[in-house]
Amino acid sequence: MYDKIHSDLWTDHTFKLVTDHQYVGVMSIDVTHCNTLQHTAMHCNTLQHTVSYCDILQHTATHCNALQQTGAHCNALQRTATHCNALQRTATHCNALQHTAAHCNTLQHTATHCNTLYLLLLTCALLSAYLQHTATRCTTLQYTAPHCNKLLHTATSFYTLQHTF
């Protein structure tokens, strides 16, 4: 009888209402059971969707955590890069200062050499003036010496003559 109920109730997946009294009690149990199964299936589908959605959320959370860690690492790298750039600027500035110091040392050496040359030039100028003065006196003496010698010779001759008489 149960097989007949099922064959009469379900035809081409369409429910037929049976008006015979003998089937009404069985039919209400089958409809209630079917409704419960449908409700359970819908609830199960909802739970499966919820589980799938939960898995997606967990995957998204894991991905988000990885992105946060990557972001923190990226921030640390940016700070390191900024620090490195500052160090490079400092190194460039230091190199410029070293070059300037080397140039300054060269200029100081040149200035010392120049001061020495200037002192030598002054000494040479004074020596040149002295030598010119001496040369002028020498020229005067050379011009005067023959006259002196002549006068000396004349004076000697005169003295000799004077003492001879």
Query: DSSP letters of 40-106?
Result: HHHHHHHHHHHHHHHHHHHHHHHHHHHHHHHHHHHHHHHHHHHHHHHHHHHHHHHHHHHHHHHHHHH
Residue among 148, 71, 1, 22 at smallest CA distance from 156: 148
Per-residue pLDDT at 28: 55
Per-residue pLDDT at 152: 85
Please tell me the pTM assigned to this model. Answer: 0.41
User: Residues in the chain with pLDDT < 70?
Assistant: 1-29, 165
Report the distance separating Cα 71 and Cα 119, nearest Å.
71
The domain spans of the chain are 2-112
DSSP 8-state code for residue 14:
E
Per-residue pLDDT at 29: 60
